[in-house]
Amino acid sequence: MMTKQEFVKKEKYLKLNDDGDFVVDYDGKLEIIDFHTHISNALPLKSVDPNKKAKKLKYLTLPSIENMDLSVPYWTKLDPNEKNKGLMSIIKFSSKGYKIFKDMINGGTYDNCFKSQRENMIKKNVVLPISTKKSDRSMEALKVAKEHPDKLVAFCSVHPHDPEMKQKIKKYKKLGAKGLKLKIAEMEMKGDWKPLIDLFKACYEVDFNVLLHTGSLINIKRENTSNLMWKLLKSSRVEIFEELLKQLPKDFKFVFGHSGIGEYKLVAEYLKKFPGSYAELSCQSAGSIKYLLEEVGHERLIFGSDWPALPQAITLSRVLIATEGNEEARKYILYKNAEKLLK
């Protein structure tokens, strides 16, 4: 069985720190904004004070070293025989999701966050709150950005079914939010997309960047999956967004979070169709980032990591590989595009 140590030895731009976590291995200087991060008090389920002494992050979203394959999005080897059928698989899927959230909430504290920033040469994290219909976490994100304006920038998060949606967006804009983040499943919309389109329009009016979790895994095979499981896995698939973006002005600044994970080719297609849209690269591979670069150029690709769900160093090392010999593209992806959107 391969150890983590052996694994990083063959991976360029990656090493381990004293705690055994992945950190970037790069000799030069880099300017970096991480466009997709979270913090312990701005997530659903429960809220942990970010000033708390941190628990060490387990990065439960990452597969085990034996199952890790950095050449594919989501970095997980496909097991062609893995079955995801029946109730047990749904329960496993949901409880894994719950454990990941708990790890993010307990480990996404200031000391862990700033340590990771230092170790990976990251100047600023964009903090994305995740609100549900019942719980709005925007004020918490705004609070952390106010406490550490040199290190953190805040987005807000308003659920499309929130009765105060419009007033809230105006309010959060005034309080310094730079955009809106949403993670929503198709099932929540129950076939009626109008509230989401209205939300996008309200964001457009205040000149917000809008980042949504987009994409599904393509390393899970349809034939090995039940109908319900397939629905769960596909609930934020990229193709939903074509119809939605058609209803907005061409310069609406929409960011495809995770570049659609396994559906990055469709994201490239939509970036060509919708000139105001961007792709945020967390969990992509060097190969998929190169593909996006070739298809859409470097001015609409943005580095993001999804920390503390994933280590900042892995996507960062993928960007460094994909931009070897292309300093210009590297600068734009790591810093300049984000800086422009955050102005």
Query: Quick check: 187 and 319 in contact, CB under 8 A?
Result: no
Which residue's structure tokens are 């460094």?
A: 320
Instruction: Find the helix or strand (DSSP H, E) in which 240 lies.
Output: helix 240-246
Nearer to Zn ion, 35 or 330 (CB): 35
Q: Is the distance from CB of 304 to CB of 337 less than 8 angstroms?
A: no
| Complex with Zn ion: residue 34 or 119, whichever CB lies closer | 34
Closest CB 60 distance from Zn ion, rounded Å: 14
- Distance, in Å, from the CA atom of 302 to the CA atom of 93, rounded to the nearest integer, reads 29
Contact 48, 41 (CB under 8 A): yes
**In sequence order, what E strands does 219-261 have?**
254-257
Of 195, 203, 196, nearest to 177 by C-alpha is: 203
Q: Which is nearer to Zn ion, 35 or 270 (CB)?
A: 35
5 and 100 Cβ atoms separated by less than 8 Å: no
Q: How far is the CB of 237 from Zn ion (least distance, A)?
A: 17
Closest contact distance (angstroms) between CB of 272 and Zn ion is 25
Nearer of residues 89 and 216 to Zn ion, judged by Cβ = 216
Question: Would you say the C-alpha torsion 55, 56, 59, 60 has a positive or negative sign?
Answer: negative
Shortest reach from residue 257's CB to Zn ion, in Å: 7
Contact assessment for residue 8 and residue 313, using Cβ atoms and an 8 Å cutoff: no
Q: How far is the CB of 238 from Zn ion (least distance, A)?
A: 16
Question: Nearer Cβ to Zn ion, position 214 or 219?
Answer: 214
H or E element at residue 280: strand 278-280
CA distance 292 to 90: 33
Please, which residues bridge with residue 225 across strands?
84
Q: Nearer to Zn ion by C-beta: 263 or 306?
A: 306
Q: Which is nearer to Zn ion, 213 or 290 (CB)?
A: 213
Shortest Cβ 266–Zn ion spacing (Å)? 20
State the maximum Cα–Cα separation within the chain, in Å, rounded to a whole number.
55
Compare residues 127 and 329 and give the one whose CB is closer to Zn ion.
127
Q: How far is the CB of 128 from Zn ion (least distance, A)?
A: 6
∠ CA(42), CA(57), CA(35), 5° rounding?
50
Choice between 42 and 266, CB closer to Zn ion: 42
Shortest Cβ 39–Zn ion spacing (Å): 11
Residue 27's Cβ-count burial label (10 Å; 0-12, 13-18, 19+) is: exposed
Collapsed DSSP state (helix, strand, coil) of residue 283: coil
For Zn ion, the nearest residue by Cβ is 306
CB of 36 to Zn ion, least distance (A): 6
Residues that bind Zn ion (CB under 5 A): 306
Q: Which of 25, 42, 233, 41 is nearest to 130 (CA)?
A: 42
